């Protein structure tokens, strides 16, 4: 029997997003992944003056999960003391982390996990929040505005006061030299470039340069922020725990992580086709577990999203580790859902991420996480609130209507504007009659008919018109 201890980050998404810009979010995500990398944890535990001699080791049965430190302790160990050592280790890397630890004595990790999940023991839980600012007159951090600034540091050609957490977030912060030197904060992008067989000279330096890769029909100034998260992954892991197989969780976490990275590669390769020697039209910001946050040239976003969702579903469904834990008839649970936000390249990145995250969650709710789905928002046309009628589309919807949306895009802008005016969500019957008459009069039935089904004609046509703007 061993004591199994997990130390993990609480409220990880709010923590990553506490700085307003891309560098801060990417830096926090990358340093957190680096701090919880299994190989580095093994070395840290081995060298630790307290943990190593005490027989503490990294729990290989837990697999790889960003933001989690899983350990095995000899039965008589004081888990609370070990948890405090891990708290100190993680806070030394990222001081503002909100951390929690759980532990239990059991014959295997899956038994321990089951015990603290189903019958949590308050005596076997510890928490450690970030240090509290207890002297308000100090100048606040120039980036997050949450904690007091400790010292000045050059960021964006300025030298604001930075708190301890932001000092670490912006360490090795500049992307171009980081891609040359292999710095931690750009690890996800380096991995993608390696898979593509490309180098750092083929990336865009900033959002404006990325947006400028748009085709001749684009203004060359719009990007899509894409936030993707796996469907039913938590349920899959619950079934792994329930199985009692002590090694299955590690295999599952590796399978999910590899499927995420391979799907990102396939989707990026799909939008690079025919662009030999050109710059990569995708910048990955966060890639961890089943989560992906990227920026994509606006006119290639739909191809990227459809390719990613299709690849992720296929890779997990084909994986021999995953298949035994997918319930009969529910193969689509192994898919993912996405939120997509189109906006000008100068639109605040932090806000674009928030909106994409909200859209992704809404897409999951619309289909109960059982189908690969997506919801989108075009900030330039629609503002920061999706139209009331928009419920999101499934990947099947996108694939089924691909040719119809392309045909709709072929309608001259003036014709699409007429259609937009004819759509009346509040009066579907009148709207449908108007649209039918328009299609009959201008002989555009082939363009309209695919969306006049299931009693949702007005909403579907409104959505199709929105999709057509960036459909390529």
- pLDDT tens digit string along 182-215? 665 667 888 888 899 888 788 888 888 899 999 8
> Quick one: 348 exposed, middle or buried, by C-beta within 10 A (0-12, 13-18, 19+)?
exposed
CA dihedral 327, 333, 335, 340 (to 10 degrees): 180
Quick check: 172 pLDDT over 70?
no
Question: Can you give the pLDDT at residue 120?
Answer: 66
- Parallel, antiparallel or unpaired: strands 373-378 and 336-344: parallel
Q: How would you class 328 by CB atoms within 10 Å of its CB: exposed for 0-12, middle for 13-18, buried for 19 or more?
A: exposed
Choosing among 3.40.50.300, 3.30.70.270, 3.40.190.10, 3.40.50.920, the CATH entry for 186-383 is 3.30.70.270
Q: Taking residues 311-334, what's their average pLDDT? A: 77
State the pLDDT confidence band at 297, using cuts at 50, 70 and 90.
very high
List of residues 6+ apart from 219 with CB closer than 8 A = none
**Which tokens sit at 162?**
């930075």
Residue extents of the structural domains in the chain: 2-128, 186-383, 401-472
- Which residues are bridge partners to 126 per DSSP? 101
Fold equal for 2-128 and 186-383: yes
Q: How many CB atoms lie within 10 A of CB 313?
A: 23
Q: What is the pLDDT of residues 335-371, one digit of tens each?
A: 999 999 999 999 988 899 999 999 999 999 998 888 9
> Where residue 108 falls among pLDDT bands split at 50, 70, 90?
confident
Among residues 98, 75, 77, 91, the alpha carbon closest in space to that of 12 is found at 98
Between 461 and 450, the higher pLDDT residue: 461
- So what's the pLDDT on residue 331? 45
Q: How confident is the model at residue 142 (pLDDT cuts 50, 70, 90)?
A: confident
* Residue 330: per-residue pLDDT: 47
Residue 168 in this model has a pLDDT that exceeds 80: no
256-296, pLDDT tens digit by residue?
999 999 999 999 999 997 665 688 999 998 888 899 999 99
For residue 7, give both structure tokens. Answer: 């130390």
For residue 411, pLDDT beyond 50: yes
Residues 207 and 410: their CA atoms lie apart, in Å, by 29
Specify the pTM.
0.78
Residues 89-100 have pLDDT tens digits of 998 888 888 999
CATH class name, domain 2-128: alpha beta
Q: Give the span between the Cα atoms of 24 and 141, in whole angstroms.
A: 13
pLDDT at 87: 92
Cβ atoms of residues 283 and 179 within 8 Å: no
Sheet holding 99-106, edge to edge: 57-58, 68-73, 2-9, 99-106, 125-128
Question: 43 or 439: whose pLDDT is higher?
Answer: 43
For 177, half-sphere exposure in the C-beta direction (CA atoms, 13 angstrom radius) is: 4
Count of Cβ atoms closer than 10 Å to residue 319 Cβ: 19
Q: Given this model, what pLDDT does residue 171 score?
A: 64
Q: How far is CA 221 from CA 122, 308, 399, in A?
A: 53, 23, 27
């Amino acid at each position: 029997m061993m004591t199994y201890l997990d130390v993990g980050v609480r409220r990880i998404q709010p923590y990553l997003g506490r700085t307003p810009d891309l560098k801060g979010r990417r830096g926090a995500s990358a340093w957190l992944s680096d701090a919880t990398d299994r190989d580095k944890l093994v070395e840290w535990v081995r060298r630790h003056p307290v943990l190593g001699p005490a027989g503490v080791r990294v729990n290989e049965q837990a697999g790889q999960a960003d933001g989690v430190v899983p350990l095995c302790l000899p039965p008589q160990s004081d888990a609370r003391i070990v948890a405090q050592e891990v708290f100190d280790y993680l806070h030394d890397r990222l001081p503002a982390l909100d951390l929690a630890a759980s532990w239990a004595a059991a014959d295997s990790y899956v038994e321990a996990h089951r015990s603290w999940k189903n019958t949590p023991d308050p005596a076997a839980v510890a928490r450690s929040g970030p240090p509290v600012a207890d002297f308000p007159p100090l100048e606040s951090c120039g980036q997050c505005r949450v904690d007091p600034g400790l010292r000045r540091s050059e960021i964006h050609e300025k030298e604001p006061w930075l708190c301890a957490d932001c000092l670490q977030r912006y360490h090795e912060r500049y992307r171009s030299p980081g891609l040359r030197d292999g710095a931690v904060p750009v690890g996800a992008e380096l991995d993608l470039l390696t898979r593509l067989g490309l180098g750092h000279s083929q990336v865009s330096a900033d959002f404006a340069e990325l947006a400028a890769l748009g085709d001749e029909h684009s203004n060359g100034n719009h990007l899509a922020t894409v936030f993707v998260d796996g469907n039913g992954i938590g349920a899959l892991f619950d079934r792994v725990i329930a199985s009692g197989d002590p090694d299955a969780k590690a295999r599952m976490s590796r399978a999910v992580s590899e499927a995420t990275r391979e799907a990102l590669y396939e989707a990026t390769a799909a939008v690079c086709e025919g662009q030999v020697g050109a710059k990569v039209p995708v910048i990955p910001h966060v890639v961890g577990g089943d989560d992906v946050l990227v920026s994509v040239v606006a006119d290639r976003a739909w191809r990227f999203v459809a390719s990613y969702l299709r690849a992720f579903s296929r890779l997990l469904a084909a994986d021999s580790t995953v298949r035994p834990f997918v319930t009969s008839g529910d193969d689509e649970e192994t898919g993912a859902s996405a939120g997509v936000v189109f906006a000008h390249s100068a639109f605040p990145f932090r806000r674009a991420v928030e909106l994409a995250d909200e859209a992704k969650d809404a897409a999951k709710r619309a289909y109960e996480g059982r189908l690969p789905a997506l919801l989108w928002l075009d900030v330039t046309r629609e503002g920061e609130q999706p139209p009331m009628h928009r419920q999101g589309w499934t990947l099947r919807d996108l694939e089924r209507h691909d040719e119809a949306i392309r045909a709709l895009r072929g309608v001259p802008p003036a014709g699409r504007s007429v259609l937009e005016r004819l759509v009346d969500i509040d009066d579907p019957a009148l709207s449908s009659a108007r649209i039918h008459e328009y299609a009959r009069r201008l002989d555009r039935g082939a363009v309209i008919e695919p969306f006049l089904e299931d009693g949702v004609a007005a909403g579907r046509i409104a959505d199709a018109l929105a999709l057509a703007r960036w459909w390529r």
